[in-house]
Amino acid sequence: MIIPPTLMVTWFKVVALALGVLVLLRACVPTSWLKSLIAAILAILVIHLYAVSRHDLFGLDFQFFWKTGCDVWGGVDPYSPSRFAEHPLLNPPTALPLFALFAALPIRASLAFWTLLNVASSLGLIALARSALMWQARLDVAGHQVRAGLESLPPVAIAGLAICLSVSEASLKGFYLGQLGVFTAVMLVLALVAQGRGRPISAGVCLFLATVKFVTMIPFLLLFLRRADRLSWVVLLALVLGSCALTGRIADLPGRLATLAQRARELSAPGKVNDYSYEGTRNESIISFDHLFYRLGMRDRGWIRYAQVFALLTVGAWAAYLVILKDLPRPAAACLVSFFSLLFLYHRDYDTVILALPLAHCAGKVRVTTGAARWLYTACGLMAIAILYADALFLRLLTQRSLGWETWGRLVQATVLPYATWLILLAMLLLALATRAEGALTGEKQSTKGTLVVNRQ
């Protein structure tokens, strides 16, 4: 956290979290109370962001993006060693046109516009995710079953989940830093909308825009392997090459990518900002397998790297198997991929806003399913909220304390400190089980209905 928390901020985050849980659990709360809570939290959010915008460190990452955009306008290579010292750049060349747009305005005006866009996008992300899931459901034969749950979500429930998402630790930190997490999530969700509506060119454009955080975007390509998606791939590749040519020579692209890999290794070295060990300056906010394995007690970085590759291949193969070969329902597949995208290589806690997809999906399913499926969907949705509200400050303090607790400390380090990663893995499993349980229940109902028809005849 770059903004010191206050008691008011803590309380309104607690209320927003409780609001999301109440909506997900379908608690019997008067609609007028929900509307009042939503309006009050929204007002506090706006006032809070206006107050912290005067902080010197507000928009720290955005300042790096803006300086990179200035380099683009000035014809300077932003990947050169001299520029890296002033603004560390780990984004791919496809992000440079966006950064150039940032630099088209003075930095204060540009940051204000970007913050307003991020807040508005975050507030609308649940509704957009609901729309994407409904369009994805149209690609399935039995898509009406998914749409029934999503259509049953009343506007006040959508608004409650939107407030829960926008006031989460993930969203607030993204606002504070001026990060790209909300923008990437919106582009990926829009790509799913375009795919469901049969607009492959628009889907390709949205996928290209999401490459600003390519480690989040790449797993979503599992959802674009149909024959109808080929044009989206063509558009994506054409825009990637075009943007690289616009901000440099294509011949320089391999060198730039090698430089990015080298810079990533430098910032992941012991004691650096991306170091997953306890020496890292921001280790508590990292979500990755190497972060998990270190807290399980592994210390050899070489073996941790091998274990991470093995875990990624294993979980990725399982997710690909469910999405491609087992023909998982499209909305469930999109939610499964969104969870897996957070484990792909390296992420920070502010990237978890992509969980708007499973949050909307589970909230809809809870309203139309029964039995084990309903409980599994409820647990999955609660886990998404818990991941969104992972408090980096609390985890940092707990990390420092646990280092002196010996046996109990090692237990806390293995379970609590990487709890976001554990919950992502568990949520993926529960989502797959819930989908199977729902499918079995639906099959039984159809079988029973068919038997009744035969008996009547």
Banded model confidence at residue 133, pLDDT cuts 50, 70, 90: very high
The C-alpha atoms of residue 361 and residue 150 are separated, in whole angstroms, by: 7
Q: Is the pLDDT of residue 327 over 90?
A: no
| 169-181 pLDDT, tens digit each | 999 999 999 999 9
Q: Is the pLDDT of residue 450 over 60?
A: no
Q: Could you tell me which residues are beta bridge partners of residue 323?
A: none
Q: Is the pLDDT of residue 255 over 90?
A: no
Q: What per-residue confidence (pLDDT) applies to 453?
A: 40
**How would you write the chain as a 3-class SS string?**
CCCCCCHHHHHHHHHHHHHHHHHHCCCCCCHHHHHHHHHHHHHHHHHHHHHHCCCCCCCHHHHHHHHHHHHHHCCCCCCCHHHHCCCCCCCCHHHHHHHHHHCCCCHHHHHHHHHHHHHHHHHHHHHHHHHHHHHHHCCCCCCHHHHHHHHCCCHHHHHHHHHHHHCCHHHHHHHHHCCCHHHHHHHHHHHHHHHHCCCHHHHHHHHHHHHHHHHHHHHHHHHCCCHHHHHHHHHHHHHHHHHHHHCCCHHHHHHHHHHHHHHHHHHCCCCCCCCCCCCCCCHHHEECHHHHHHHCCCCCHHHHHHHHHHHHHHHHHHHHHHHHHCCCCHHHHHHHHHHHHCCCCCEEHHHHHHHHHHHHHHHHHHCCCCHHHHHHHHHHHHHHHHHHCCCHHHHHHHHHHHCCCHHHHHHHHHHCCCHHHHHHHHHHHHHHHHHHHHHHHHHHHHHHHHHHHHHHC
Q: Averaged over 373-380, what is the pLDDT?
A: 94
| 46-87 pLDDT, tens digit each | 999 998 888 888 999 999 999 999 988 988 888 887 777 777
Q: What per-residue confidence (pLDDT) applies to 452?
A: 41
The C-alpha atoms of residue 377 and residue 370 are separated, in whole angstroms, by: 10
| 188-204 pLDDT, tens digit each | 999 999 999 999 999 99
| 412-448 pLDDT, tens digit each | 999 999 999 999 999 999 999 999 988 765 555 545 4
Map out the domains of the chain as residue ranges: 9-456
Q: What per-residue confidence (pLDDT) applies to 444?
A: 52
Q: Of 213, 206, 172, whose CA–CA distance to 189 is shortest?
A: 206
